[in-house]
Amino acid sequence: MTVDQILSNLSLGQSNPGVQIGSQNIGSGPSFSSSSPVDGKIIGSVSSCTDEDYLKVIDAATQASLEWRQIPAPQRGEVVRVFGEALRSKKDALGHLVSYEMGKSLQEGLGEVQEMIDICDFAVGLSRQLYGLTMHSERPGHRMYEQWHPLGVVGIISAFNFPVAVWAWNSALAWVCGNACIWKPSEKTPLTAVACQNIWNDVAAGFDFVPEGLSAVIQGDYKVGQFITEDPKVALISATGSTRMGKIVAQTVAARLGKSLLELGGNNAIIVEPDANLKMVVPAAVFGAVGTCGQRCTSTRRMIVHADIYDQVRDLLVSAYGQLKIGSPLDASNHVGPLIDTGAVGQYNAALKAVVEQGGSLIAPGGVLEGAGYESGCYVKPAIAEARNEMQIVQHETFAPVLYLLKYETLDEAMAMQNGVVQGLSSAIMTTNLLTAERFLSCGGSDCGIANVNIGTSGAEIGGAFGGEKETGGGRESGSDAWRAYMRRQTNTINYSTEMPLAQGIEFNF
């Protein structure tokens, strides 16, 4: 599939609307371009959002939320079901665009679209399961229960590394819960957002009860994100990105007593016990470290390996890295594509320099690739460093394919190292010992929101709640009961007697 075919299939052109209220294009700000890290070519441009544009967007979204919340949840689910079917029909083209605009492998790009489809399927079932609880009242002749209501308008800020899936994780659930959504995508991957909105518009046109402002897109730099984070009309901000960004969002939203759902940094580790099956360890570690060129929030950053097998694991990893094929992610024979841009390459180089300066050593030295096929300047070699957990660079989340090897003697030491960072997203242990596995999963084990046994840190199924602790933000998206973040809880008490008994036995007679 050529780039022109991809764009045509997704109703994209050289110039595209970057601010949309449903199918209404209102962007009046200056346009900016999107270029591919695959070959450095400009793919197309989108218009940006101005203050005046945003006021139109929030007014439309607010009105849409008032109308949408009155639609029965199963009918809302039906709209999301049809959207999921539309994504199935566009999976190949949208997966190619994700791969080309972001730089992840085509297989990962297609997998990301499949995550969108899967969350739509999940949301459809959820639309008939927005359950509350019934409680026994202490007062006779009373019934007490709780129910969940829509919040109103949900603002979604997504990052470049998962340019479409994270939006779908949020929007599919927010829609079935009765909310309208405003999406601020990464300015590094704007065209995938326009493509998703185009698909949504085609679906929404088939339902006469879907209000125009139910799905809106605003594009631009961080200042555009400020529109929704500062706006009291936006009940919930779901933001995915760096910890630095998340702290700014959290403080801004908290200042207006709004709700925030944060998915931030990860410094994820795999503990490798002496009894681990190394045939499982190596592929889990390599994919976790180099998949998406190390630009996943769940990427494996640290390998904490027992001293008894440290040399063996190190040699196996170095050998595996020597076999990696680096090149265009649209070529299925390649394992690693480019970093998102040359700025990311600069951070990668700075990390490698810091490793040596802080006393570590590079055993798979990495480096920037040049020459034919690497003209974009965004291709790098995945690197492996022998390091110590307390090194500043190891404590930092390096959003690039740099893996730090750490050695330990006891399980207590390993878990202390695992938890000894400010991030708390994903973690894993490789062991065939049931007692060790259960200890890792206990309250005294991993302090991360995700803890795995005999699989890597990278990747997650939509059925489970996704998110982490500490500076990862504490939010939860996707499955389980993550839907509750998009709703407000209400406790109800009904007196069906002819008396007025007061709580706690209080008497108030007159």
Split at pLDDT 50, 70, 90, the class of 217 is very high
CB 127 within 8 A of CB 80: yes
The answer on pLDDT for 498 being more than 90 is yes
CA distance 76 to 471: 34
- For the annotated catalytic residues, the residue numbers are 263, 297
d(CA 269, CA 288): 10
Q: Is a pLDDT exceeding 90 seen at residue 509?
A: no
User: pLDDT tens across 99-135, in order?
Assistant: 999 999 999 999 999 999 999 999 999 999 999 999 9
* DSSP codes, 244-299: HHHHHHHHHHHHTT-EEEEE----EEEEE-TT--HHHHHHHHHHHHHGGGG-STT-
272 closest CA partner among 136, 133, 436: 436
pLDDT-derived band at 271 (thresholds 50, 70, 90) equals very high
| pLDDT per residue as tens digits for the range 152-204 | 999 999 999 999 999 999 999 999 999 999 999 999 999 999 999 999 999 99
Cα–Cα distance, 427 to 303 (Å, whole number): 10
Question: Which pLDDT does position 282 carry in this prediction?
Answer: 97
pLDDT of residue 495: 97
Q: What is the pTM of this model?
A: 0.96
Mean pLDDT of 21-29: 94
pLDDT grade for 13, boundaries at 50, 70 and 90: very high
Is residue 202 packed enough to be buried (19+ CB in 10 Å), middle (13-18) or exposed (0-12)? middle
Report d(CA 304, CA 404) in Å as an integer: 8
Statement: residue 505 has pLDDT above 90: no
Tell me the one-letter amino acid at 206: G
pLDDT digits (tens, 9 = 90+) for 470-495: 999 999 999 999 999 999 999 999 99
Alpha-carbon span 177 to 154, nearest angstrom: 11
Q: What is the spatial distance between Cα 65 and Cα 178, in angstroms, rounded to a whole number?
A: 7
pLDDT band at residue 506 using 50, 70 and 90 as cut-offs: confident
Nearest to 99 by CA among 88, 87, 112, 85: 112
Tell me the pLDDT tens digit for each residue of 285-324. Answer: 999 999 999 999 999 999 999 999 999 999 999 999 999 9
Residue whose structure tokens are 């070959």: 39
**β-strand partners of 262:** 239
The mean pLDDT of 270-281, rounded to a whole number, is 98
Query: 467: alpha, beta or left, given left = phi > 0 and alpha = psi -120 to 50?
Result: left
With H, G, I as helix, E, B as strand and everything else as coil, classify residue 70.
coil
How many Cα atoms within 13 Å fall on the side-chain side of residue 21? 19
Strand partners of residue 134:
145
pLDDT-derived band at 508 (thresholds 50, 70, 90) equals confident
Cα 428 from Cα 270, distance rounded (Å): 5
DSSP 123: H
Q: Which two tokens stand for residue 62?
A: 């607010």
Determine the residue type at 461. E
Per the document, the length of the chain is: 510
Average pLDDT for residues 388-404, to the nearest whole number?
A: 97
- Strand, coil or helix: what is 426? strand
